[in-house]
Amino acid sequence: KTKLVIAIDGFSSCGKSTMAKDIAKRMEYIYVDTGAMYRAVTLYAIRHQMILEDEVSKEALVQDLDKIVITFQYDENSKSNETYLNGENVENEIRQLEVSNSVSLIAAIAEVRHHLVRLQQVFGNDSGVVMDGRDIGTVVFPNADLKIFMTADPMIRAKRRFDELTEKGEMVSLEAILANVEKRDHIDQTRDESPLVKADDAIVLDNSHLTPKEQTALVMQWIEDKI
Ligand code: C5P
């Protein structure tokens, strides 16, 4: 087998998508950011007033699932796939803290997960895909060729996301980000519906003290070993 299905799971803000994109580019594989899909559904729910103080109007959202069309389109400027919600580019909006604060609530809804998992399985139909998320190696592609479970110290992750957002000009506090990271870790690990767990056959990658270069070298070696 030469074209692999690579599943990357792990905690929030571990650099999963940065790594997944990099690997996809090197291997000339497709990259699918499943977190962006949960974020797009969350943005839809926010815009339709379906989230009020940590309470989601679940029935209304589930009824609308077929009306929420999520696509990805390559952007020449950013040199990466950008997320579209019903034809509108929402790439920036889905990264804002308002969405981050509610996304785990939306991702805990079983119907939302089933709907998105089905779409993800279609994206990965042709081998040669790198997909990142929370349940890729456990639920979406239990037979993935290579499974990586990423983790890093919560404070290091909060600092990275803080730098990313302030660079974009967003006014945020490190404390608020750390609180968000820890809250999401907790919800993601304790939800009933496909909680974040390491697949038995996943390789753990703790990148707290790895440079991006060291990390890439490690992962490229794991890929070589599978081809
Ligand atoms: O990866 P990212 O941080 O953008 O994901 C946003 C949120 O979407 C996560 O905190 C998690 O609650 C949810 N998610 C999920 N399953 C996935 C991808 C993301 O539950 N496969």
Sketch out the chain's domains with CATH numbers.
5-226 (3.40.50.300)
Q: Whose CA is nearest to atom 8 of ligand 1?
A: 35
Please say if the pLDDT value at position 97 is more than 90: no
**One-letter identity of residue 211:** T
| Residue range 99-116: mean pLDDT, rounded | 94
- Angstrom distance (rounded) from CA 14 to CA 132: 11
pLDDT digits (tens, 9 = 90+) for 6-29: 999 999 889 898 999 999 999 999
Of 95, 196, 218, 102, the residue nearest 151 (C-alpha)? 196
Instruction: Report CA(133)–ligand 1 centroid distance (Å).
Output: 6
Give the alpha-carbon dihedral of 47, 50, 53, 54, to 10 degrees.
-110
Identify each DSSP E strand in 34-180 by its residue range.
51-52, 55-56, 70-75, 80-85, 88-89, 129-133, 146-151
pLDDT digits (tens, 9 = 90+) for 174-211: 999 999 899 989 988 998 888 899 999 999 999 999 99
Instruction: Report CA(9)–ligand 1 centroid distance (Å).
Output: 9
Which atom belonging to ligand 1 lies closest to the Cα atom of 12?
3
Q: Whose CA is nearest to atom 14 of ligand 1?
A: 35
User: Where does ligand 1 bind, in terms of residues with CB under 6 Å?
Assistant: 12, 34-35, 38-39, 103-104, 107, 133-135, 184, 188
pLDDT digits (tens, 9 = 90+) for 47-96: 999 999 889 999 999 999 999 999 999 999 988 889 999 999 999 999 98
Write down the pTM of the prediction.
0.90
